[in-house]
Structure 1
Amino acid sequence: MLKRAALLCVLLLATALPASAGQPVVVGGTLASVSEAPWAVALTNPHSAAASGRWCGAVLVRPDKLVTAAHCMDQAASTYSAVQGRANLADRSVGRVSAISKVWIHPGYTTKNNRYDVAVLTLSKPFTGVPSLPLETRVRMDRTGVVPTVYGWGDTQGTGPDETLQKAAVPDLGDNACLADKSYVANGYAAATNICAGYLEGGIDACQGDSGGPLVLNGRLLGVVSWGEGCAQPGKPGVYTDIAGVAEPLLQQVR
């Protein structure tokens, strides 16, 4: 299983872990502006191999709260920075930056099965005046046929500029599409806590560096990028943490 994060990209590719902080934005996506996705936040870290420090994605759900993937938070909290309003991470003349003062990781999260892959970060300097994204707490919204959009600064595999905010529509395939794959089951896919989304023919997907980034449907946070096998490979859709499936403890942290 491949975690979709940046610095760990080479290691994750070699060991088949989830999506997080590393190298390759969204594969097969299109450019997105910060005005259309002001709540999209990039997490940077000096341990990243990328010059921009790109590590993971996140989403602003309160002026001082971010939601991201739990597997992104494997470094000391003091080493992370949250960047808002910067479509091109190389352009440090724009955007707002805040340190992270507190990290909450879902108590059910474990690297053994990658379930409950979600974390809440508290900003040292709130992003006041920036629109936030409400959480989708209705379980029924994860259903076959809806088409949410994923946002991120991750690897594009040559389909666009890396480290630049992109978006891609990824149809919800329903849990059975991932549960039918023995390797997805072995890596911990669970209908109660995951969303299976993408294209069975491949070509469009989240990738390394997109971990923790938002999966958005009807103006709400449906999920966050968690893991996948490869990026945009045929028969290997993306796996997202289902916000509705982890909503109860999450809401306590973001109120």
Structure 2
Amino acid sequence: MTSTASTTARVAVVTGASSGIGEATARALAADGYRVALLARRADRIKALAEDLDNGSIAITADVTDRDSLVAAAQRVADDLGGADVLVNNAGVMLLGPFAADQRADYRHMVEVNLLGAITATEVFLDQLKARAGERGTDIINISSVAGRTARAGNGVYAATKWGVNGWSESLRQELLPDVRVTLVEPGVVATELPDHITHGETRKGVQELYDHAEVTAADVAEVIAFALSRPRHLAINEILLRPAGQA
């Protein structure tokens, strides 16, 4: 593949880039001139996406619960793209269901992916972001959820992970200002494959029906992310809450 991207193009790292908001964000940022490092476990999907973008973006198989794979990914970004200007912490799972002992594997997995995964990815890429901040400023985008504001029956641990992301993001924002901006994005119901991984049958059916009628798409969220990144450096959009217009 021959790259059409400028060597001075900004570089965005997107975790969970194989589908949903991650894939849509990669496409939106590539359209804005970014070269994108596509990080996900599903190698075939991100390889196909990189080929489709055809702009010098690269696919890197990585798991946010495996620090070693993230360290290797960061080295690849440094070697092939020169370092990261933007990190989008998008990888996440939503394993809803009644709080019960037989769900404990799901609970642990959500904590490891949604909260610790974002923290670890940021820790691994932070040196690159700091190093490149002096040139033109850098950004961290943390994808949370409306569940990071409002907990409901059946989503307690998922909400706990997102509340954790929200609190950590605000602390990080204060530590890194003004050179590395931190933006928290909290979507409501978005048409993605998130319900596919719910193991509790009754919960999955109810959530799937809700998501099947979602009017907000992953591309809508990606457009908001691209807008936040495009703002002049003296302006930081700290937090974005977005829902379908009809969601209570």
Same fold by TM-score greater than 0.5: no
TM-score range with shorter-chain normalisation?
under 0.3
Pair member with larger Rg: 2
Of structures 1 and 2, the one scoring higher in RCO (CA 8 A, sep 6+) is 1
- As a proportion of its length, which structure holds more helix? 2
* TM-score of the superposed pair, with normalisation by structure 2: 0.27
